A and B are shown apart, each in its own frame.
Chain A
C-alpha cells in the first residue's frame, strides 16, 4: 500500500493559464474524490468518481473545472483560465466501497497540490 499520490506538489501559474493536476489512488480503491482547502478552512468537496463514472460535482466546481478518471484508476483535475481565487490546496482522496451493512467507507488523502495563481 503506497498511499494516495498527487503530482505536482506545488504549482505556481499566472492568471489565465490552464493547469492540470494528477492523482493516483490506492490501487484497490474504486472511489476517488477531489477536495479543495483554503486557508483557515476545512477541505470542501468538489467531485466524486466511482470507478470511471463521475457521480457528483459540487456547485463549487465551475465550468472552468473538469475532472476525469478515464480507466477507473488515476484521475486528473484541470482548471482552465485560472483566477486568483483558485489559489488553494487541492486534495485527492480514495476509498473502497463499503461492504453491505457498513455505514460508509474511510477516505484516505494524498499530500495535496498547492496552487498559487499570480
Chain B
C-alpha cells in the first residue's frame, strides 16, 4: 500500500505564476514532512520541511501547508521560474517510531514554461 501519494504525475505552469504541488498520506503516525526536488541524473535535493505542530512553513519562494485533518500537504512556489522545472517528491516520517526512515511519494514533474 502506498502511504504517501502524489496523484498528479505532472504539472505545467507559466513563468511567474504559482505552482501548487499536492501530496496526501494515509499513515496517521506521520508527523514530519519534507519536499525534495530532483533533477535528472542527480540525487534529491532538500527543499523545505514541516512538522505536525505547524500548519505552514515558509522559505523564500517556497511555502508548505499542512492540513492534518485531511492528511494533505501542498507545496507552493511563487513566483515559478524555469529553473524550478524538476521532479518534486513529498516524503514523510514517523518520529515516534521509525524516525529515521522516509516514505516517499512517486513524484510530480513540474515544468515551468518561459
Q: A residues bordering B, Cβ < 8 Å? A: 4, 6, 31, 33, 35, 40-45, 48, 50, 55-56, 91, 93, 95, 98, 103-112, 114
Contacts and interface: CB of A to CB of B under 8 A. Distances in A.
B112 interface: no
B100 A4 contact: no
Contacts, number: 69
Interface of B: 4, 31-32, 34, 36, 41-46, 49, 51-52, 89, 91, 93, 95, 98-107
Nearest to A40: B106
6 contacts: A6-B43, A42-B105, A42-B106, A91-B43, A103-B31, A109-B44
A56 B94 CA distance: 15
Given A45-B101, A55-B100, A56-B101, A107 B106 contact: no
B100 A42 contact: no
Q: For the complex of A and B, list the 8 residue pairs with the smallest distance between their C-beta atoms, beginning with the closest.
A: A42-B104, A109-B43, A103-B51, A103-B32, A104-B99, A103-B95, A104-B95, A104-B32
Contacts of B42: 111-112
A33 B52 CA distance: 23
Contacts of B36: 109
A33 B100 contact: yes
Contacts of A43: 44, 89, 102, 104
A14 B102 CA distance: 31
